[in-house]
Amino acid sequence: MRLPSRPFAAAACALSLALSVAAQQPAPPAKSKTTAPARAAAVVDPLAAERRNNAITLVNTLADEARGFHDATLRARVQMEAADALWETDQERARSLFRRAWDAAEQADQENRRQAEADRNALPTATPGGGGGGAGARNSEETRVAQGAGARPGALAALLNRPNVRSEVLRLAARRDRALGEEFLAKLDEARQQDEHSLDAESVAGAVTEAGAAANAPGANSPAMPASVVAHEASGEDDRRLQLAIELMQENDTERALQFADPALTKVNSTVVEFLVDLREKNPDAADQRFGALLTRAFADPSTDPNAVLILSSYVLTPHMYMELGQGGRMSTSQRSNDISPPANMAAAVRAGFAQFAAQELLRPLPPANPQDGNSARSAAYFVIGRLLPFFDQTLPAVAPNLRAQMAAVMPDINEQQRTRMDANMTRGLVPESQRPDGLQQALDTAQKANDPDTRDRAYMQAALIASRKSDPKARDYASKIENAELREQVYAFVDFTGVERAVQKKDGLEVLRLARDGSLNNTQRTWAYTEAAKLLKDDRARAIEALEAAFATARKIDADDPDRPRSLVAVATEFIGVDRARAWELMPEVVKAANAATEFTGTDAAMAARVRAQNMMSTVNFPAPDFDLNGVFRSLAKDDMNRAVALAQTFTQEAPRAVATLAVARAVLEEKPAARPARASN
């Protein structure tokens, strides 16, 4: 059933009619003679101007209608996108829309947070192959995902990718107007303070000048190392500042990125260092200067511990890869880029400055042994010294013997299992993975020696996952040895899904196609694999079309009310645009029909995710899938035939997909570079 008449639908019809009339009007004949030199200059294409004017009308009308949308996330996004689209033509109106978007985003984030908390409270403890109970768990989608039963295939991706709507509004507003960005950042900080029941007071005492630090021998007269591992995390406001700055940097707006980031570059955490790493790729001098200032602040901060040294080492040794130790030597690692090789052009003074700082911190007197917390601080000192010893041997060899003595002093306090785990990670990121032990043989040995099926299954699961990361075809063989049928199928599915992901990264279209046909994938994942294969095989048009037709057939197998069905059909149509535009248009009514049947479909936030879990073990893959969103396909269709795209967008009956598609069409027009048409010169 179609919804009642809507203001922006009327505007869309008016736009379509105006475009049709404009397209049918012949261009006025050029005069044969001209006397003014200005007549020879370029003139604006009147049809393009007409399209822009009508697109502006459409955006304005949609922005006003958005105030009545039921969904707060949609309300915020439509108004912020409208504000961004209108900025070049009406900044006062755009600022008003940004502020309206912010109000809606605050409500949206509150609703998302409440839902996330409810889902977490409902989580069960049962896992395949692990026992446990979840009798008290409420019947939520998070529960069904955790249990692996009854949940839709796309539910995991939806749960892992809940939007942070205020951050989205902040990013667009700050890109346009720094003052508006600062206004929203202040509101975020105010909201955070209201939400927190108590705030941890921080104090920094005993500032030491850089000159004084250089004059002191490493470790001499230093206060004791902190007795416990310190969590190095950016505060809420600083984290948002830095994430915003990183996004601006990615858009090549370095000056504005620095304006937002500089106030937050005061404490050691991985987000600060990641910003400096990104900055260094664009402006090495500016990044090195700020890194030196951060070292000075960290040296003056008595809470600086081996974890701080470890995080800062990433700037010099493993850009984009960060490691941190928790209590008992538990390791967490994050990698934000495939390329983590050290900067080739880093000045010797920067490396030497870090070496001096790191030696000073790592040679501070050790805290007493404390078995209750697993000797966390002493374990951290052991790991960080061991990891950086080759760097010290090369950069500051005079202190290496003292560091080895410090490392030897803590070794007796670390149990063998913990030390073995840390030793295995000491060279991670510093030497090629092919030269590091990967744990595969250890997992297989554990499986061979295991006396109970659960331990054996988990060992084979670990072996399968390690082999999968190496694109080792034996991964499925290891999975086949798992006795628990449910866990075995989970591992098969995870191995094949990650196999597609790695083949896509390697641009191996034939392997992607093979896994699309034969892998243990659900229909959404299989559609994704087929569309990725078509993208990689686009030079072989016949094979690409064959893959897309297989993707189309697969997408139609998804349940009619599942939002993954229209998402998958969108992906097929998106890829058809590159090889057969007529076929893409043919598929769009099918997309609309599926979208109208799946009430949860929004046309945004598509992602691909997979997870495998057993007791004390879990591995997750999660990444965005923009080809499954409406924005891309409607932008492309608008360039092909704007009138038809506008009319098509109006056939969505749900607010969200209709608004997303309409905005995509309008923005495609507004972002076109104005075409200049030279006037005919006189003879």
* 60, 150 contact by CB (below 8 A): no
The three-class DSSP label of residue 366 is coil
**621 burial level (CB within 10 Å; 0-12, 13-18, 19+):** middle
Cβ atoms 453, 480 nearer than 8 A: no
Residue 314 lies in a domain: yes
DSSP string spanning 492-554?
HHHHHHHHHHHHHHTT-HHHHHHHHHHS---HHHHHHHHHHHHHHTTTSHHHHHHHHHHHHHH
Q: Which residue has the higher pLDDT, 682 or 588?
A: 588
CA dihedral 497, 501, 502, 507 (to 10 degrees): 130
In a domain, 568, yes or no: no
CA dist., res. 189 & res. 214, Å (int): 37
Neighbouring CB atoms inside 10 A of 361's CB total 22
According to DSSP, the residues that pair with 332 across neighbouring strands are: 324
Mean pLDDT, all residues of the chain: 84
The predicted pLDDT at position 212 comes to 36
Within 10 Å of residue 33's Cβ, how many Cβ atoms?
Answer: 10
SS3 assignment, position 335: strand
**Residue 678 bridge partners (DSSP):** 42
Distance (Å, rounded) from C-alpha 9 to C-alpha 649? 9
Amino acid in the structure at residue 268: V
The span from the CA of 514 to the CA of 14, in Å, is 48
The reported pLDDT for the residue numbered 373 is 63
- 538 pLDDT above the threshold of 80: yes
Q: Looking at the domain assignment, is residue 255 inside a domain?
A: yes
Over residues 65-75, the pLDDT tens digits come to 999 999 999 99
Would the pLDDT of 13 be above 60? no
pLDDT at 25: 42
8 Å CB contact between 276 and 290? yes
> Comparing 187-196, 289-298, 299-308, 343-352, which segment has the lowest mean pLDDT?
187-196
What amino acid is encoded at 241 in this protein?
R
Structure tokens at 516: 């699309």
Question: Residue 285 has what pLDDT?
Answer: 95
pLDDT for the residue 433 = 65
pLDDT mean over 498-515: 96
CA distance 329 to 7: 61
pLDDT of residue 221: 59
The per-residue pLDDT for 151 is 67
Say what the pLDDT of residue 658 is: 97
Tell me the pLDDT band of 418, cut-offs 50, 70 and 90.
Answer: confident
In the chain, the N- to C-terminal Cα span, in Å, equals: 62
Long-range contacts of 167-171 (CB under 8 A, 24+ apart): 167/240, 167/243, 167/244, 168/76, 168/77, 168/80, 168/105, 169/76, 169/80, 169/98, 169/101, 169/102, 169/105, 170/240, 170/244, 171/244, 171/247, 171/248
Give the model's confidence band at 189: pLDDT under 50 very low, under 70 low, under 90 confident, else very high: confident
Predicted confidence band of residue 579 (pLDDT cuts 50, 70, 90): very high
Ranges of H-type helices in 338-452: 348-362, 376-395, 400-410, 416-425, 440-449
Span of 69-73, 327-331, 471-475 with lowest mean pLDDT: 327-331
Distance, in Å, from the CA atom of 211 to the CA atom of 216, rounded to the nearest integer, reads: 9
Positive or negative, the CA dihedral 187, 188, 191, 197 is negative
CA dist list (Å): 61 to 173, 565, 659, 667: 20, 30, 11, 14
Instruction: Kindly state the average pLDDT of the residues 656-672.
Output: 95
Whether 344 has a pLDDT exceeding 90, the answer reads no
Answer whether residue 364 is part of any domain. yes
The pLDDT tens digits of the residues spanning 351-396 come to: 999 999 999 999 998 888 777 765 688 899 999 999 999 999 999 9
Confidence of residue 238 (pLDDT cuts 50, 70, 90): confident
Helix H or strand E segment including 614: strand 607-614
14-28, 400-414, 441-455, range with the lowest pLDDT: 14-28
Give dist(CA 430, CA 659) in Å, integer. 48
pLDDT at residue 206 tops 80? no
Q: Between residues 140 and 226, which one has the greater pLDDT?
A: 226
Question: Which residues, 6+ apart, have CB-to-CB distance to 518 below 8 Å?
Answer: none
The total of structural domains in the chain comes to 1
Question: 349 and 324 in contact (C-beta within 8 Å)?
Answer: no
Domain extent at residue 368: 218-433
| Contact yes or no for 650/658 (Cβ under 8 A) | yes
Residue identified by tokens 């075995």 is 488
Amino acid at 531: T
Q: Compute φ and ψ for 513, nearest 5 degrees.
A: -65, -40
The pLDDT score that the predictor gives to residue 15 is: 45
pLDDT at residue number 51: 87
Q: How far apart are CA 129 and CA 615, in angstroms?
A: 7
Residue in 524, 523, 525 with CA at minimum distance from that of residue 512: 525
> Which of 186-200, 422-436, 448-462 bottoms out in mean pLDDT, i.e. has the lowest?
186-200
pLDDT tens, 99-152? Answer: 999 999 999 999 988 887 777 666 554 455 554 444 344 445 555 555 554 568
Q: Does residue 599 form part of some domain?
A: no
267 falls within a domain: yes
Q: Give 202 or 342, the one with higher predicted confidence.
A: 342
Q: What is the DSSP letter of 255?
A: H
Is residue 159 in some structural domain? no
Q: Is pLDDT at 166 greater than 80 in this prediction?
A: yes
**pLDDT for 490 beyond 90:** yes
CA distance linking residue 109 with residue 102, whole number of Å: 10
d(CA 262, CA 178): 13
Residue 420's pLDDT is what?
A: 85
Q: Is residue 72 part of a domain?
A: no
At residue 615 the predicted structure's pLDDT band, cuts being 50, 70 and 90, is confident
